Structure formats: structure tokens, C-alpha cells
Amino acid sequence: MKTTDLRLVETGDGGDLVLRGNDVEMISGLQNMPYIAMFGGNPEQSTVGAKNTEQAFDFWGNFLINPNDQPIWFNSLTERLLDTISLSPITRIEIQETVKKDLEFILKFAQVSVEVFLISVDRIRIEIKIQEPDNLSSELFKYIWDATQQELQEIPTTGLPLGNQNMYINNDYIDDYFI
């Protein structure tokens, strides 16, 4: 499934568009889907229907793009869970299952695998692998959640010089980054 979209990246205070020169950078693929599904919906409560009398805080595309397809609405179950629990080996499994639930809609057109790692007392790493049926390669998405800062960091897995990708997933780098 090839989609074209504006490139969206996590910057520590929410998703931002990427500028390249005087233009907004475009992507052709699934890069935005995991991020929006986990952190772009409604972290306060699940959207259940249109409310004309209230301001909606959910993903704007729920009603604009898919107004009658509630099972694929983005509701940020992952973000909601991360905002309300402490990190532990037990909650790691709960987080992993919640990420899978946020990404269920992708199963209609790709295989998805999710792993969550507890990398320190207050940080987890979420790794998502998406494999499209007609594509020989898969896409890997990595995110770090800092529970103390209540902050998400997206770890680039492409576009880095060969050999530099490991510095982003090495725990020493992550710990050094936050000092």
C-alpha cells in the first residue's frame, strides 16, 4: 500500500511537519501511521461519535477521512496508558498489547509485530515492524518513552549514515542524551 503524506516527526512536544528548504517534506509509505495511531488520537477518552456541541480533541482525520468507520479511528490508547501507569516488567506486557490494539487497523494490509523493552527504570523502547505482503523489506519504527518527562522520542531507523543507527538504540547513548 503506497500512500503519500506530509512527513511527520516527533520533536518532544508533539508531531511536527518537516521542512526541506521552502517546502514541506513528503513521504511515500507508512511512516506516519504508527505514530498517529499511538500518539495522535484522543488521549483523554475514546472517541465514540461526533459531538457537534463540544470541541473534539481526537485525531482530526477520524471524522474527516473515516466518519463512519469507528473501528479504525485513532484513539491513542498507548498514549493514554503511558500517561497513567508506572513502568515495570508487568506493565511492559500491557503496553505491548495496547500498542498492538492501536495498530490493529494495519493488519488489513500488512503484518505487524510489536516489542516493548524496559530499558531503564523510567524508559521503554517500542519497536514496531511492518511488513507489506508484496514488499520484500519491512519497515522498522522505534520510539523511546520517558515516563519521568512524559515525553516521546522517535528514533530514526533510516536516513542515517551506515553504522550510526546503533548509536540511537544503544542504552549508553540514550542515557547520555538525557543528562
pLDDT at site 130:
93
As a whole number of angstroms, the distance between CA 179 and CA 52 comes to: 46
- Whether the CB-CB separation of 126 and 105 falls below 8 Å is answered with no
pLDDT at site 56:
66
pLDDT at site 163:
38
pLDDT at site 54:
67
How far is CA 148 from each of CA 16, 87, 176, 179, rounded to the nearest angstrom?
Answer: 22, 10, 16, 13
Using only C-alpha atoms, what is the Rg of the chain?
17
Q: Which three cell numbers stand for residue 126?
A: 517500542
pLDDT at site 93:
96
pLDDT at site 52:
61
Q: Which regions of the chain are under pLDDT 50?
A: 159-179
Q: pTM here?
A: 0.77
Write the pLDDT tens digit of every residue in 65-116. 767 777 777 778 899 999 999 999 999 999 999 999 999 988 988 999 999 9
Q: Which three cell numbers stand for residue 38?
A: 499511538
Q: Which residues contact 149 (CB under 8 A, 6 or more apart)?
A: 178
How far is CA 119 from each of CA 22, 38, 92, 105, 136, rounded to the nearest angstrom?
Answer: 38, 20, 11, 28, 30
Q: Which residues contact 114 (CB under 8 A, 6 or more apart)?
A: 96, 99, 100, 103, 126, 127, 128, 129
